[in-house]
A and B are shown apart, each in its own frame.
Chain A
């Protein structure tokens, strides 16, 4: 199809609205397979934006392609748990079968194969995305079949449905996952309490944000309600990018009514009229179902004007897609992305509750936080606070993956010990547990008595289990690669620091490190922690610091020397000049004399 015509149609459908730039680019790529320069130019002209602004956005998101990509765009999820399940060998096999290389587009333009950060299928991996659609439970047979389907040019809609099946994955149900929910019931209860009464009920619950930071939800809602400005906004952060986390996937797929009702409850508390769900691109497989739920809720008066007959209670929800940027899980980066910009975190203060989406007072809450609000509305804040610990009330969804018999989502009251979770998921001979994802904490055996709670081990939900077969160095190495890939590039300490850290770990992985490199790593860690613009950079050293503190021998045994060693082979570096000059005298070599003695 003609590029300009496609652009005109897509931009028109999105209301010629520059805040929808990311949505426009995603829709264009769906049609064109990639974003050719002519499309960027045309989008800029249609929206009246500088071309550089459009190209800057297109270049920011890893699921958008600025160079020709295949008609089949295959991205293997590259979390450490996928690797442990054999994803690297499967990827190489598929490349071999399709005569291509990882990171390249095949010469006939048929297929491109690459990797992407964790796609949120840790309980049913290894996984991949093909043109944005998730394929789970990869094995040798499935890879052979995919190669045949690609070679045969079979449209994705005609691929076997079981390839795209995402299992429910709920292993343990508590009050949130185990109680049937009637849409509208929580809203009726909250409306009966009045806006103020509902806010007080939330305060009694002690609910703290489930995205990781643990800020008091009632306080956030109150601050937004009190902020000057009429057009308040509620945003559901469904950009669940933390490696090893997939509990929001389960909520969106199976408890969408609770999530949307939680957003509406937040609107009731704050007076917001506009709602957004920022859905990570990797979870596009739930998009149609979510739209259907929204339509149903509008039809029965749970969204729209005068919700449940309450005059002046107007609220509706729109879903925006992300396109593969971990940093957009940070709330201010998310807001930038929602406004159609690069996902660069903002400087806080001002906080989103006063200056959020388009400068309007905005509440940004995690999917799980919003779903929990329905429980509080129905059962009361006191009942909610009776579960969990005094400082971490309620239950927590844990995404359990890795070396265990029963990976999946577990709902536990806060305060559960790591050992209890390990017991229940069937983990044996556990060496380490990564709680909270790449930016979380690595726990060693002597810490398995610690509790999942904001006051002990806080967690956004990831719980990755590693048994005695695993090398703790490789765990940290994988997470450092992740941070170097996901750094948004805005601030120098993070952009450079994460890559320096990766280079040093790569050097250790190649077995050419010296003890001095460990000191260098600790220096970079300090720099990242103290000088980064946002939490991505300042938490990037976490897996390294934990690894060096708790599993140091696994690092030390990779050292070649106790002094310093170059990362490269000096004698080989003289090779080109030796060839050009034809020399072979002793002066034409380095490090030969030592080794020959």
Chain B
């Protein structure tokens, strides 16, 4: 019987994931790879991620970022990922372009906050929250490549499970990820 076990196989890639100004839809779609997740776990292990609930990121091979950057905390998290991940991937429309949250970019932030905290029924007069625990909003929502260097972009809203699978299979095999046309066609 041959020797088996993880020590004989290639080193597992360490992967971290997070959602910034996103809806976790990309993470949900990631889980749509279903049983392939078991195959994947032979080749990768998770660092900081909603799947592990680790609060900080250690040295990693790959970081998957969902969502754009809308507040100071997003900046800190994104920088932590960039510092620790050899390969950083912008996942989904919001990370790549700002997406839905960036629809506030054509409005002045002050007017946005006033509309909610000063004029909305039931909230009027409560004042704009100013607890230091709350991340402070940036005046505009930015795609992540405007804050840090990004290595790859995985488009889609969300990218399909198949797209995640193809992308990660390429990364693990050492191939430059390449999505076939059907995987990036959305109509």
Interface residues of chain B, those whose CB is within 8 Å of chain A, are 72, 75, 108-110, 113, 128-130, 132, 135-140, 146-149
Contact = CB atoms under 8 A, between A and B. Distances in A.
A288 interface: no
Contacts of A566: 146-147
Interface in A558-597: 563-564, 566-568, 570, 573-583, 585, 587-590
A581 B136 contact: yes
B140 A573 contact: yes
Interface in A537-575: 563-564, 566-568, 570, 573-575
B146 A567 contact: yes
16 contacts: A563-B149, A567-B146, A573-B140, A574-B136, A574-B139, A577-B137, A577-B138, A578-B136, A579-B110, A580-B109, A581-B130, A582-B130, A583-B136, A585-B132, A589-B72, A590-B72
A516 interface: yes
Contacts of B138: 570, 573-574, 577
Given A581-B129, A583-B136, A576 B109 contact: yes
Nearest to A591: B75
B89 to A, nearest CB: 15
Given A564-B149, A566-B146, A581-B130, 7 more contacts: A573-B138, A575-B139, A576-B109, A576-B110, A577-B138, A579-B110, A582-B130
Interface string A109-141: 000000000000000000000000000000000
Contact of A588 (B128, B132, B140, B148): B132
Contacts of B139: 573-577
B75 A590 contact: yes
A585 B147 CA distance: 22
B146 A516 contact: no
Nearest to A587: B132
Contacts of B108: 576
A514 B129 CA distance: 36
Nearest to B114: A580
Interface string A262-289: 0000000000000000000000000000
Nearest to A564: B149
Given A580-B128, A587-B72, A588-B72, A564 B148 contact: yes
A283 B107 CA distance: 43
Contacts of A574: 72, 136-139
A67 B143 CA distance: 34
Contact of A581 (B128, B147, B148): B128
Contacts of A576: 108-110, 139
A515 to B, nearest CB: 10
A489 B108 CA distance: 29
B187 to A, nearest CB: 16
A516 B149 contact: yes
Nearest to A584: B132
* Shortest beta-carbon contacts, A-B, top 8: A581-B130, A564-B149, A585-B132, A577-B137, A576-B109, A573-B138, A577-B136, A576-B139
A580 B130 CA distance: 9
Nearest to B132: A585
Contacts of A578: 136
B75 A583 contact: no
A575 B148 CA distance: 21
Q: Which of A563, A579, A583 has the most CB of B within 10 A?
A: A583
A581 B71 CA distance: 14
A569 to B, nearest CB: 11
A587 B136 contact: yes
